[in-house]
Structure formats: C-alpha cells, structure tokens
Amino acid sequence: MYDPGVNLLAISAGIGAANIPEAAYNGTLWSAGGSGASTPAYVVDPFQAFTQRARQDNTWLAWDFVSQHPQIDPASDACIVMINEFSSEGYDRAGLADPQSDNPVLNVAAQCSNTIVVIHNVYIRLVDAFYVSNEVAERLSVS
C-alpha cells in the first residue's frame, strides 16, 4: 500500500543505500525501483484483502507486522506469513537469502501446524533456512 511518509523522489534521486529499506514493512512490495518502477493508480495490499474478506465471512483475524517472535493463538486454523525484500537498479540485495524474514517464518511454523508462507520478492529468494527441515516443511505451504 502506498505510504505517503516515504519520499519516493528522494529514493530515486540517489540517497545512500543505507537509507533504503530492504523490505516493505506494514504493507506490500508492489513495485521494484529503478527504470521499471511504476506507481499504480490503486493498490489493494494482501492485508487489506484479508481484512475485507474477514468482515464478509465474520472471521476472526489477528496480525503482527513487527515482531520476530509473534504469539500465535493455539486455536488458529491457519497462519499466513508474508515476507518480501526490495531491490532496485544500483541497489542490489546482498544475497539470495534473508535471515530477517526467515526468523518469523520459523517462529510461526513452530507454533502453528498450518503455516502458509507468501513470498513477495523482486528476484530469486532462497527458502532453505525454513524449508530444508522435514519437520518444518510438513508444516509449511510456500507460494
């Protein structure tokens, strides 16, 4: 979802790489940077879509956009972990793995037997940190 607090002009003007976030926290990654970047007229992020559907179905929904160790309600039917990582021309990712987003996946899967992982990346992303273990792999659905 568009964040009016992010100055996209400053990012495209070449501010230092230390100031560019590597992930779209509290939202979704809807465009990479650089010459291929676009600004859609309207974006429905995944959380907004889940919230809308939950209202229609009278489904209880809980979320945590911040914690590396979210507490999961044991009565949950399913847990969805959405992870992403940003990249742009002149600002490539340091590697194909992302330990920062692997941790929440592992921590949620340890508490929820039906964990679904949605990866929203601009490039290849390794999943071996959380998909290599048979015990964890049996609990995950990666899309």
- What per-residue confidence (pLDDT) applies to 9? 39
Structure-token pair, residue 65: 């956009």
Please state whether beta strands 140-142 and 79-85 pair in parallel, antiparallel, or not at all (unpaired).
Answer: unpaired
- What per-residue confidence (pLDDT) applies to 24? 66
Residues of the chain below pLDDT 50: 1-15, 143
- What per-residue confidence (pLDDT) applies to 3? 46
pTM over 0.75: no
pLDDT in tens, 54-72: 999 999 999 888 888 999 9
Cβ contact 34:89 at 8 Å: yes
Report which of 121, 116, 53 is spatially closest to residue 87, judged by C-alpha positions: 121
- What per-residue confidence (pLDDT) applies to 69? 92
Distances (CA, A) of 84 to 56, 77, 113: 27, 24, 22
Give CATH superfamily name and number for 8-142.
Glycoside hydrolase family 3 C-terminal domain (3.40.50.1700)
Report which of 6, 28, 23, 142 is spatially closest to residue 91, judged by C-alpha positions: 23
Listed in sequence order, the DSSP H helices in 1-143 are 8-12, 46-57, 99-111, 128-131, 134-137
Cβ contact 70:2 at 8 Å: no
